[in-house]
């Protein structure tokens, strides 16, 4: 078992490089199998979830290497549409492989994917998409058996699900005719997936909006592509800079993807500026005065990201007044709240979707545990803010979504040590 030991209360200073987006790379890698020729994907973060996806792709016969942030994928020898079930059960994002397998083979066998325990996340929305595309689905002994090449047509999602939108795109890109996806999610990572597919020869328009049109093509070709910067990782270090009152330079970032986050931080008293260097945008956090409490509610993009909700809660422990946080995406995504309470934070869960934070509070280091990717990383932010020493257990959750978080923080002056090894 691995854990972090963090001595808090220090100001940080320096530059933190933002890695490629986890939630884009996890979908772009399965998309690469739609070609019969190799692709080279760069700016891929080396995190546990990506390593698992690489293993899943190998399990169906993909020739794949992953070195120095570059994944080379040769799909020419894929023969199976039944990925390794043990691997599938370890990675929630593996569900997007189904759309690609249906598009390529007209069949897929998959068990219920695993992932973080952050509320109910059934795959019914995905199955509904496939049914609307004419795919036949049977369930037997813990497995879903999907059969039939997806047929172009009208698809209406039951809600703005990111992965269901991506599955609809992957399933339709090789279908003859025109597919229109309505009530689509609009997250930037979806557009990044579509940009990659279009570079391969797909004809996708409207990605990044709530209505996407796909003109089916017969074939796709492998290409070189660089994954977009991770806006959630950027938001993570941005919050750390603000809550510790530090001067950090964070980037590269795509500023437009962080608009609501920057606005909310500015509203509560954060100080920062956007600078341009080496052809990219960076955010510099600056020393600030007192923070003031303000409410947020998480929404699908372009609303406030659910993945940054727990970080905002940490920030509010240092703000004057009471803030109310309304989580609209997942019920019960409050695993970090109990741990914050162990650090002496004043929080109160009102119901499975709402809690309040009273501040400012002097956080005191203690032993706590991460329960999911984002909640775990938000506890790192809290530990850096707290007086004394904090031990964070179960950091494999954090490593699922963050590349070298301890190394990056240590480079800007944080006292953080990793003890033990991750058991995958």
Token pair in block for residue 176: 């003859």
∠ Cα 148 149 155 (to 5°): 105
∠ Cα 231 408 72 (to 5°): 65
The crossing angle, in degrees rounded to 10, of helices 373-385 and 231-243 is 20
Q: What is the DSSP letter of 262?
A: H
Number of helices and strands (H, E) in the chain?
A: 14, 24
The string over 45-69, giving b where at least 16 C-beta atoms fall within 10 Å of a residue's C-beta and e elsewhere, is bbbbbbebbbbbbebbebebebeeb
Rounded Cα–Cα distance for residues 392 and 408 (Å): 17
Rounded Cα–Cα distance for residues 25 and 29 (Å): 6
If you search the block for the tokens 């019914």, which residue do you land on? 124
Distance of CA 249 to the CA centre of its chain: 22
User: Which residues are catalytically annotated?
Assistant: 116
The string over 108-129, giving b where at least 16 C-beta atoms fall within 10 Å of a residue's C-beta and e elsewhere, is bbbbebbbbebbebebebbbbb
Q: Of 216, 258, 213, give the one whose Cα is nearest residue 233.
A: 258
Q: Backbone phi, then psi, for 75, in 5-degree steps? A: -90, 10
């Amino acid at each position: 078992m691995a854990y972090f030991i963090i001595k808090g209360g220090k100001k940080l200073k320096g530059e933190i490089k933002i890695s490629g987006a986890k939630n884009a790379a996890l979908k772009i890698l399965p998309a690469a199998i739609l070609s019969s020729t190799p692709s080279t994907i760069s700016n891929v973060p080396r995190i546990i979830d990506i390593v698992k996806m690489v293993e899943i792709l190998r399990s169906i016969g993909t020739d794949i290497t992953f070195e120095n942030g570059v994944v080379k994928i040769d799909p020419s020898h894929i023969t199976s549409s039944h990925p390794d079930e043990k691997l599938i059960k370890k990675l929630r994002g593996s569900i997007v492989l189904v759309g690609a397998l249906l598009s390529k083979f007209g069949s897929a066998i998959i068990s219920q994917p695993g992932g973080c325990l952050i509320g109910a996340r059934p795959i019914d929305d995905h199955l509904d998409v496939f049914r609307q595309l004419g795919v036949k689905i049977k369930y037997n002994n813990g497995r879903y058996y999907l059969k039939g090449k997806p047929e172009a047509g009208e698809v209406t999602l039951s809600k703005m699900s990111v992965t269901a939108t991506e599955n609809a795109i992957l399933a339709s890109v090789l279908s003859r005719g025109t597919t229109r996806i309505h009530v689509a999610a609009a997250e930037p990572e979806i557009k990044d997936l579509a940009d990659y597919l279009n570079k391969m020869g797909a004809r996708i328009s409207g990605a990044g909006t709530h209505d996407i049109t796909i003109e089916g093509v017969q074939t796709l070709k492998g290409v070189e592509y660089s994954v977009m910067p991770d806006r959630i990782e950027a938001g993570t270090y941005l919050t750390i800079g603000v809550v510790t009152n530090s001067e950090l330079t964070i980037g590269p970032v795509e500023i437009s993807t962080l608009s609501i986050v920057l606005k909310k931080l500015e509203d509560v008293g954060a100080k920062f500026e956007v600078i341009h260097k080496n052809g990219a945008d960076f955010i510099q956090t600056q020393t600030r005065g007192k923070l003031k409490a303000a409410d947020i509610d998480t929404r699908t993009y372009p609303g406030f990201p659910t993945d940054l909700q727990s970080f905002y809660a940490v920030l509010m422990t240092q703000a004057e007044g009471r803030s109310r946080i309304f989580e609209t995406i997942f019920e019960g995504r409050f695993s970090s709240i109990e741990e914050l309470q162990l650090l002496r934070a004043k929080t109160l869960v009102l119901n499975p979707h709402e809690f309040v934070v009273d501040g400012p509070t002097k956080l005191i280091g203690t032993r706590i545990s991460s329960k999911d990717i984002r909640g775990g990383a938000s506890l790192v932010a809290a530990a850096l803010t707290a007086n004394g020493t904090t031990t964070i257990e179960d950091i494999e959750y954090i490593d699922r979504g963050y590349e070298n978080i301890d190394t990056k923080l240590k480079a800007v002056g944080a006292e953080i040590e990793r003890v033990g090894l991750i058991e995958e």
